[in-house]
Amino acid sequence: MAGTETTGESPKTTTAVTKPDGTTEEPEKPGKPGNPGQPGKQAGQDLAGLEAGLDALDAVQIRRTSPAEVLVQKVLPPVVAVALILVLWKVLVWAKVTDDYKLPDPKLVWDALEQLWLRGELFDIVWTSVSRGLFGFLIALAIATPLGLIVARVKIVRAGIGPILSGLQSLPSVAWVAPAVIWLGLNEKMMYAVILLGAVPSIANGLVAGIDQVPPLFLRAGRTLGARGLVSARHILLPAALPGYVAGLKQGWAFSWRSLMAAEIIAKSPELGVGLGQYLENQRNNSDMPGVLLGIIMILFVGIAIELLVFAPIERRVLRSRGLLASAR
């Protein structure tokens, strides 16, 4: 009967009321007072209808942004900003605010990039650094995660190495390059040592902060459901700490990349091959200013690209699934 009801067609005495949720409510039949089953059922149906209405009114609308909106709100602003910087650069060159060897024309920097590409070196240089950076980051991840868990949950460990761990974060990783070269020699090992010393404290601290911010209510709720010890860590503590952990990973990557560049710029050896840092240092030695600027721009570009392609999507997913992202409100 639902959906077919039109006033006037159906006889008035047997009109059924079709409610928004699709259930059909029979009208109260007159002359049957005191039926014990009827009031309860009636009340139950009233309640179901009321509840469906409330749910519809209160439902939180999740609006997904359209591709066009993404383009206008997310892609356009940075493109415009970069264009403005290029224009400003060009204007400064035209105005001859300083000597050519200090501020070369953007075109010369582009030419330097083209040359690298034509000589087939571009990909090698970038890959040498990126592979080192990502591999070092993965090792740091494997070390920092258990370390962070132990520091967060074991009081005595926390009291002992917690402050050292946060202190290490503020130590510039360039400081580690000299001792790393002396201990390990001019080789890949030394590069990874510098990356680890930069990234491990950062990732571990992120996890500790994430665990500290887990609302105690979740742990209590978990306990009443029967989750204790490792079961609680797996099902409650770690998932609850995930946003802080992901933020730590992002920062850990930034530290890995920075540490690696410091190591590459300072430590030079034919054994090591040419990465972005060495390229920058080589161009400085050749007094090739366009090459130096190209080196800096490429280091920046790779850092941003990894962040946007790897970490931003992970972070967005974690936050959106929990309703913590502004655009999901």
Partner 1 sequence: MSPALTTDKADRAEAAAAGAAGPSDSSGAVRINHVHKAFGRPGAAQPVLDDISLDVRPGEFVCILGASGCGKSTLLNLIADLDRPTAGTIEVPGGRPALMFQEHALFPWLTAGKNIELALRLRGVPRADRRPEAERLLELVRLGGAYGKRVHELSGGMRQRVALARALAQDSSVLLMDEPFAALDAITRDVLHGELTRIWSETGVSVLFVTHNVREAVRLAERVVLLSSRPGRVVREWAVDIPQPRRIEDAAVADLSIEITEELRGEIRRHGRH
Nearer to partner 1, 90 or 322 (CB): 322
Instruction: Annotate 128-186 with DSSP letters as a single string.
Output: HHHHHHHHHHHHHHHHHHHHHHHHHH-HHHHHHHHHHHHHHHTS-THHHHHHHHHHH-S
Does residue 237 touch partner 1 according to CB under 8 A? no
Among positions 58, 67, 102, 182, the unique one binding partner 1 when judged by CB under 8 A? 58
Bridge partners, residue 17, by sequence: 25
Does residue 66 touch partner 1 according to CB under 8 A? no
Residues 3-32 binding partner 1 (CB under 8 A) are none
The minimum distance between CB 225 and partner 1, in angstroms, equals 5
Q: For residue 138, what are its two tokens?
A: 């993965």
The minimum distance between CB 321 and partner 1, in angstroms, equals 6
Give the separation between CA 49 and CA 97, rounded to whole angstroms: 75
Does residue 230 touch partner 1 according to CB under 8 A? no
Nearest in space to 203 (alpha carbons), one of 153, 166, 258:
166
Among positions 1, 59, 118, 230, the unique one binding partner 1 when judged by CB under 8 A? 59
Does residue 300 touch partner 1 according to CB under 8 A? no
Strands 24-25 and 17-18, sheet pairing: antiparallel
Nearer to partner 1, 82 or 221 (CB): 221
Among positions 16, 17, 47, 76, the unique one binding partner 1 when judged by CB under 8 A? 47
The alpha carbon dihedral of 272, 277, 280, 285 has a sign of negative
Does residue 88 touch partner 1 according to CB under 8 A? no
Nearest in space to 87 (alpha carbons), one of 61, 114, 106:
106
Q: Return residues touching partner 1 (CB under 8 A).
A: 39-40, 43-44, 47-48, 50-52, 54-55, 58-60, 62, 217-218, 220-221, 223-227, 231, 235-236, 239-240, 242, 321-323, 328
